Amino acid sequence: MAGKVSIFLISPTYEKLLSAAVIAQGAVAEGMEVFIFLSFAQVAFRRGEVERFSKLGKDYEEYRDAAMKYLSQRNVSWHSMLRDAKREGKVRVVACSLVADMLGLKKEDFDPGLVDDIAGVATFLSEAASSDVILYI
């Protein structure tokens, strides 16, 4: 299967970050390109924050201990999965320029192994226009 997946990743919660990473790995395994546009989720991608970021959405708080234990035992995390997907396939991650500006973030503030660039929403729309799958997470 060839094609492209575009993901608009809005929320910086662990379950959404993990979902995007799982989808990116699956898409790469199927030979697809992946484009991830980070809205407020970009706060989890800041240099020095990636490995520590563990905010879970309210709907999933009761599963925190089980989820973190499971992932720890398998030595896996959303950021390690996304890094693997980037190494194995064509995965591009771009932070929203509006949110970055709002939060005072520059390209050098992001983990260089995860975030490729900062761009406006027109970039997401252009990528989405040529995508086979568009997801809002």
8 strand-pairing partners: 37, 136
Q: Lay out the sheet containing 117-119: strands in order across.
A: 117-119, 91-96, 33-38, 4-9, 133-136
Identify the CA nearest to 66 among candidates 9, 17, 14: 14
Q: Among 23-32, 70-79, 92-101, 111-120, which stretch is predicted with the lowest mean pLDDT?
A: 70-79
Indicate whether 96 pLDDT > 90. Answer: yes
For residue 49, give both structure tokens: 């924050």
Mean pLDDT, residues 99-125 taken together: 98
CATH 3.90.170.10 for domain 4-136, yes or no, is: no
Q: Among 23-27, 55-59, 130-134, which stretch is predicted with the lowest mean pLDDT?
A: 55-59
Mean pLDDT, residues 9-38 taken together: 96
Reported confidence tier of residue 76, pLDDT bands at 50, 70, 90? confident
pLDDT of residue 55: 78
pTM, two decimals, is 0.92
Q: What percent of the chain clears pLDDT 90, i.e. is strictly above it?
A: 76
Identify the CA nearest to 41 among candidates 83, 92, 93, 116: 93
4 strand-pairing partners: 33
pLDDT of residue 63: 77
Domain assignments of the chain as residue spans, ordered by start: 4-136
Mean pLDDT, residues 90-105 taken together: 98
Question: What span, in angstroms and rounded, lies between the C-alpha atoms of 39 and 119?
Answer: 11
